[in-house]
A and B are shown apart, each in its own frame.
Chain A
Amino acid sequence: MGEEFRLSVWRGDPSGGQEVEYRVPGETGMVVLDALQYIQHNQAPDLAVRWNCKAAHCGSCGAEVNGQPKLLCKTRMDDYVGETVSVKPMQTFPIIKDLVTDVSWNYQVAKEIPPLDPMYPAPFQMQQVDATRVQEFHRCIECFLCQDTCHVLRNHEGQQQYFGPRFMVKIAEYEMHPIDGADRLPLLADQAGLGMCNVTKCCTEVCPQHIRITDNAIIPLKERVADRYYDPVKILLRRLSGKKAGPTQTPSRSST
């Protein structure tokens, strides 16, 4: 294309760093990751940036482009014609080097979520209408951009109190699974910290997979938690009828 792009890339490590400017020859359809790879191959071989598939399937290359959390492989350079494109690492996670951050906290949280607990072993009888609802959550590629933008984790140091949007989606995926027999509401109300979310929807805005995190996962979960822990009428009715809280079906468990 002849034109040249200007990038300002944050370089540094936990002790500090600064933005370094690079110039990259433009090409049709170029994405930010293409530009960074050009820099890496020709100007700064030790520029640290995480990427795997370069097709928006794996969710490795999350970073902040001009202040917005984005996948580098899906952000087109021609969206920023005439601007210097600033690329910074995700701010919520500790820096390792350059654009690479330490996201291990997320993997710790993942372990806290109990796995699917089917009421009977597969093959499951399940209609598409029921599958569709949870399949939306299965689209998640774990890029952690939602975790990055979530102000509870970003500004309020909420890592001890809230699992973050990614894991609300994960819990919703099990909680709304038609065959799951486990009761996940106590986890949500307590350790997972669903109440810390104040439904401000930044996670939905940044999600590259267009999962409607707040509307379809978090709010329905909040409503379920309200059924159990906040709704005085429901609580009273449960007391009177002596029914235990939890899924209505009796799980007939069998492990495989």
Chain B
Amino acid sequence: MGKESYESLDYDVIVIGAGGAGLRAAVEVSENTGLKVAVITKSLLGKAHTVMAEGGAAASFGNVEAQDGWETHFYDTMRGGHFINNYRMAEIHAKESPDRVLELENWGAVFDRTPEGRIMQRAFGAHSFRRLCHIGDRTGLELIRTMQYKAIHTGIEVYQEVTMTKLLVQDGRVAGAFGYLRSDGRFVLFRARAVILATGGWGKIFKVTSNSWESTGDGAALAFRAGVDLMDMEMVQFHPTGMVWPPGVRGLLVTEGVRGEGGLLRNAEGERFMKTYDPERMELSSRDVVARSIFKEVQAGRGSPHGGAWLDISHKGPDYVKAKLPGMYEQFRTLADLDITKEPFEVAPTCHYTMGGVRVDAETCATSIPGLFAAGEVACGLHGANRLGGNSLSDLLVFGRRAGLGAREYLSQSVDWAQVDESELDAEMDRVLEPFHRPGGVNPYHVHEELQAIMTEHASIMRSGDVLQAGLEKLLALKEMVPKMSIDGSRVYNPGWHAVFDVENMLLLCEGIVKSALERKESRGAHWRTDYPDELPQWQEINFVESFDGENIRLRTEPVKAMPENLTKLFSYGKAPGLVAREGKES
């Protein structure tokens, strides 16, 4: 192979990923600091998976129910995460999210309003009070659009449609990232003093998923290979309500807002089955519980015609449904020929979110490699074993900003650009171009389909030891296909070529998921083991942490950080702190 050339660009900070967290981080780094910042995205600006968020952003304003406060938000988040969350992240998140939401309002987001003219908040699963600031059912669109326009006015440079294939680390600190431009296949080196990862999750490992094609876990895999630890990888959230029919839209998200606005779940016999599983919270139970309940109903033979449950919002009347859930109305009308204001519709669990990810410091979002930061879905810790609806959008904002601040602080110690090893780049370019030189190899799309089939069969919503073990063996066998994937055509906008690296990244992460799922011998949150159906106190004390040496994934346990007394007290009342009389509580 002849020597390839590449373009070299120097920035103080690069942010990989242009979703909510990436843009929020970039704004924090660049606004009024004079730092040179680039945001690098795999697709076009404003198309990131954040747009898919529908229900809202959780922030304890108490605009609708005044008892709400950060303590109750914190309490709900920890309970929802089954106490393996990083308590400090949950605390920061609960305290800071109202400010972050108001920032959005300053930057142009227009939330739905209460009759008093304040931000409207809706009920959501496992939130004790009405807490989700929303704009109909397209809150994520509002968030990303607002951040996008904020970002382009703070002097950030945006590189669209760039695939990053390698994170560069030199002398134990980050040196930048290397990849290619999708539009023409040219290589590009971003040298940077600090790198912020905001690449989102890896929901594309399942066939039935609410995630867009981008969610292939690139950032986590890049960091993992570079030596960063991943944590809680077994925790993959299934959203209880995805579309079921027709086949082309299977998995497409039906917002939890439908239940938040009063939607009812029924089985084939017309029974509100949630009363058997969570009589107190019913449809508004946490996602892991509702998803499992639907799954169990289907298994028991009480499923809807296409293997789901019936969700019904028609009793709310057409005007209300169209005003509060316009996107859902439109989605079903055009894609399923169905009017949700008149009839119930089928829903079934769909892969939605990955709680696990890059292990970060709660205060600064720093990873174990100096100069490398991570925020948003790619990071880990806030959500524990199960994420509450609405905590993701506020997570992006709170920790996006924190990562930005972390990077700024790191740069204030006047770190210079690290050297880049030319031979490493040459090797990387050869590796990336390899698939063009393997005529007659394996189609990367088919490897991806195979991967999805394995994960669905072996590591989905219901897991058990033998099935996971068999899955792991299949995954290791599938890994053999990686060096055989090949692609025809040119380097110009060649999706098959791009798919090769997506598949590689997902395979690595899947192995991590299955390995840590095998080790967590209990059921907790999203992780449901039929061979260990109970939640066991000794497992509440540990997180599983994985590291990668280039060949093998090594798994170890780390103790969950203990909460200080002022926080443990919040769990001693036997009910949400907001429901306890306000005196005797610190603010």
State whether the Cβ of A121 lies closer than 8 Å to any Cβ in chain B. Answer: yes
State whether the Cβ of B443 lies closer than 8 Å to any Cβ in chain A. Answer: yes
State whether the Cβ of A115 lies closer than 8 Å to any Cβ in chain B. Answer: yes
- Does the CB pair A122–B488 fall under 8 Å? no
Contact partner of B497 among A46, A54, A138, CB < 8 A? A46
Contact partner of A57 among B102, B105, B141, B489, CB < 8 A? B141
A210 to B497 CA separation, bound complex (whole angstroms): 36
Which of A26-34, A224-232, A235-243 is the contact stretch?
Answer: A26-34
- Does the CB pair B246–A29 fall under 8 Å? yes
Of all chain A residues, the one with the shortest Cβ separation from B32 is: A255
Residues of B contacting A142 in the complex (Cβ-Cβ under 8 angstroms):
46-47, 145
Of all chain B residues, the one with the shortest Cβ separation from A40 is: B495
Of all chain B residues, the one with the shortest Cβ separation from A178 is: B110
State whether the Cβ of B106 lies closer than 8 Å to any Cβ in chain A. Answer: yes
- Does the CB pair B108–A45 fall under 8 Å? no
- Does the CB pair A51–B106 fall under 8 Å? no
Tell me, rounded to whole Å, the shortest Cβ–Cβ distance linking A171 to chain B: 12
State whether the Cβ of B214 lies closer than 8 Å to any Cβ in chain A. Answer: yes
State whether the Cβ of A110 lies closer than 8 Å to any Cβ in chain B. Answer: yes
Tell me, rounded to whole Å, the shortest Cβ–Cβ distance linking A61 to chain B: 10
- Does the CB pair B252–A55 fall under 8 Å? yes
State whether the Cβ of A125 lies closer than 8 Å to any Cβ in chain B. Answer: yes
Residues of B contacting A134 in the complex (Cβ-Cβ under 8 angstroms):
110
State whether the Cβ of A177 lies closer than 8 Å to any Cβ in chain B. Answer: yes
Of all chain A residues, the one with the shortest Cβ separation from B443 is: A45
Q: How many residues of A contact B (CB 8 A)?
A: 65
State whether the Cβ of A13 lies closer than 8 Å to any Cβ in chain B. Answer: yes
A135 to B138 CA separation, bound complex (whole angstroms): 11
- Does the CB pair A46–B494 fall under 8 Å? yes
- Does the CB pair B246–A123 fall under 8 Å? no
- Does the CB pair B246–A48 fall under 8 Å? no
Residues of B contacting A139 in the complex (Cβ-Cβ under 8 angstroms):
138, 141, 326
Known: A51-B213, A52-B213. A124 touches B105 (CB 8 A): yes
Of all chain A residues, the one with the shortest Cβ separation from B323 is: A132
- Does the CB pair B113–A54 fall under 8 Å? no
Known: A41-B446, A57-B51, A60-B47. A128 touches B113 (CB 8 A): yes
- Does the CB pair A115–B487 fall under 8 Å? no
- Does the CB pair A50–B43 fall under 8 Å? yes
Tell me, rounded to whole Å, the shortest Cβ–Cβ distance linking B347 to chain A: 15
Residues of B contacting A98 in the complex (Cβ-Cβ under 8 angstroms):
493
- Does the CB pair A49–B495 fall under 8 Å? yes
State whether the Cβ of A126 lies closer than 8 Å to any Cβ in chain B. Answer: yes
Tell me, rounded to whole Å, the shortest Cβ–Cβ distance linking A140 to chain B: 8
A41 to B487 CA separation, bound complex (whole angstroms): 12
Tell me, rounded to whole Å, the shortest Cβ–Cβ distance linking A97 to chain B: 4
Contact partner of B49 among A53, A113, A124, CB < 8 A? A53
Known: A31-B335, A123-B119, A139-B138. A45 touches B488 (CB 8 A): yes
Tell me, rounded to whole Å, the shortest Cβ–Cβ distance linking A31 to chain B: 6
Tell me, rounded to whole Å, the shortest Cβ–Cβ distance linking A27 to chain B: 6
State whether the Cβ of A20 lies closer than 8 Å to any Cβ in chain B. Answer: no
Contact partner of B248 among A34, A103, A135, A140, CB < 8 A? A34
Known: A123-B105, A135-B135. A111 touches B492 (CB 8 A): no
Contact partner of A122 among B106, B112, B492, CB < 8 A? B106
- Interface-centre pick from A40, A138, A210 (highest chain B CB count, 10 A): A138
Residues of A contacting B39 in the complex (Cβ-Cβ under 8 angstroms):
none
State whether the Cβ of B162 lies closer than 8 Å to any Cβ in chain A. Answer: no
State whether the Cβ of B235 lies closer than 8 Å to any Cβ in chain A. Answer: no
Tell me, rounded to whole Å, the shortest Cβ–Cβ distance linking A2 to chain B: 14
How many residue pairs, one in A and one in B, have C-beta atoms under 8 Å apart?
188
- Does the CB pair B51–A28 fall under 8 Å? no
| Chain A positions 46-71 with a Cβ under 8 Å from a chain B Cβ | 46-60
Contact partner of B496 among A45, A102, A138, A170, CB < 8 A? A45
- Does the CB pair B117–A177 fall under 8 Å? no
Of all chain A residues, the one with the shortest Cβ separation from B101 is: A122
- Does the CB pair B52–A115 fall under 8 Å? no
Of all chain B residues, the one with the shortest Cβ separation from A74 is: B334
- Does the CB pair B110–A131 fall under 8 Å? yes
Tell me, rounded to whole Å, the shortest Cβ–Cβ distance linking A20 to chain B: 13
Residues of B contacting A189 in the complex (Cβ-Cβ under 8 angstroms):
none
- Does the CB pair B135–A115 fall under 8 Å? no
| Chain B positions 214-273 with a Cβ under 8 Å from a chain A Cβ | 214, 245-249, 252-253
Residues of A contacting B112 in the complex (Cβ-Cβ under 8 angstroms):
128, 131, 135
Contact partner of A121 among B47, B106, B110, B337, CB < 8 A? B106
Tell me, rounded to whole Å, the shortest Cβ–Cβ distance linking B333 to chain A: 11
Tell me, rounded to whole Å, the shortest Cβ–Cβ distance linking B470 to chain A: 26
Known: A123-B119, A125-B117. A41 touches B493 (CB 8 A): no
Tell me, rounded to whole Å, the shortest Cβ–Cβ distance linking A133 to chain B: 9
Which of B148-156, B421-429, B501-509 is the contact stretch?
Answer: B148-156
- Does the CB pair B138–A57 fall under 8 Å? yes
- Does the CB pair A46–B496 fall under 8 Å? yes
Known: A29-B249, A125-B117. A46 touches B488 (CB 8 A): yes
Residues of A contacting B499 in the complex (Cβ-Cβ under 8 angstroms):
45
Residues of A contacting B449 in the complex (Cβ-Cβ under 8 angstroms):
41
- Interface-centre pick from A41, A57, A126 (highest chain B CB count, 10 A): A57
- Does the CB pair A29–B247 fall under 8 Å? yes
State whether the Cβ of A202 lies closer than 8 Å to any Cβ in chain B. Answer: no
Residues of B contacting A131 in the complex (Cβ-Cβ under 8 angstroms):
110-113
Residues of A contacting B478 in the complex (Cβ-Cβ under 8 angstroms):
none
State whether the Cβ of A250 lies closer than 8 Å to any Cβ in chain B. Answer: no
State whether the Cβ of B406 lies closer than 8 Å to any Cβ in chain A. Answer: no
State whether the Cβ of B275 lies closer than 8 Å to any Cβ in chain A. Answer: no
- Does the CB pair B247–A45 fall under 8 Å? no
- Does the CB pair A52–B489 fall under 8 Å? no
Contact partner of B108 among A28, A116, A140, CB < 8 A? A116
State whether the Cβ of A187 lies closer than 8 Å to any Cβ in chain B. Answer: no
Residues of A contacting B115 in the complex (Cβ-Cβ under 8 angstroms):
127-128
Of all chain A residues, the one with the shortest Cβ separation from B499 is: A45
State whether the Cβ of B103 lies closer than 8 Å to any Cβ in chain A. Answer: yes
Tell me, rounded to whole Å, the shortest Cβ–Cβ distance linking B218 to chain A: 14
State whether the Cβ of A141 lies closer than 8 Å to any Cβ in chain B. Answer: yes
A128 to B136 CA separation, bound complex (whole angstroms): 12
Contact partner of B44 among A34, A50, A115, A125, CB < 8 A? A50
Of all chain B residues, the one with the shortest Cβ separation from A180 is: B108
- Does the CB pair B107–A115 fall under 8 Å? yes
Residues of A contacting B119 in the complex (Cβ-Cβ under 8 angstroms):
123
- Interface-centre pick from B136, B138, B499 (highest chain A CB count, 10 A): B138
Tell me, rounded to whole Å, the shortest Cβ–Cβ distance linking B460 to chain A: 21
State whether the Cβ of B170 lies closer than 8 Å to any Cβ in chain A. Answer: no
Of all chain A residues, the one with the shortest Cβ separation from B53 is: A57
| Chain A positions 75-134 with a Cβ under 8 Å from a chain B Cβ | 76, 96-98, 100, 102-104, 107, 110-111, 113-116, 118, 121-128, 131, 134
Instruction: Beyond A52-B212, A131-B110, list 12 extra A-B contacts (CB 8 Å).
Output: A13-B492, A41-B446, A46-B495, A52-B48, A57-B52, A57-B138, A58-B52, A107-B152, A110-B149, A115-B108, A116-B107, A131-B112
- Report the 6 A-B pairs with minimum CB-CB distance, sorted nearest first: A29-B246, A45-B496, A46-B489, A122-B105, A116-B108, A41-B445
Listed A/B pairs (24) with beta-carbon separation below 8 Å: A28-B248, A29-B247, A40-B495, A41-B443, A41-B446, A48-B492, A53-B47, A55-B249, A59-B47, A60-B47, A96-B183, A116-B108, A123-B119, A125-B118, A127-B117, A131-B113, A135-B110, A135-B112, A135-B136, A138-B110, A138-B138, A138-B141, A142-B47, A177-B110
Q: Which residues of A contact B (CB under 8 A)?
A: 13, 27-31, 34, 40-42, 45-60, 74, 76, 96-98, 100, 102-104, 107, 110-111, 113-116, 118, 121-128, 131, 134-135, 138-142, 170, 173-174, 177, 210, 256
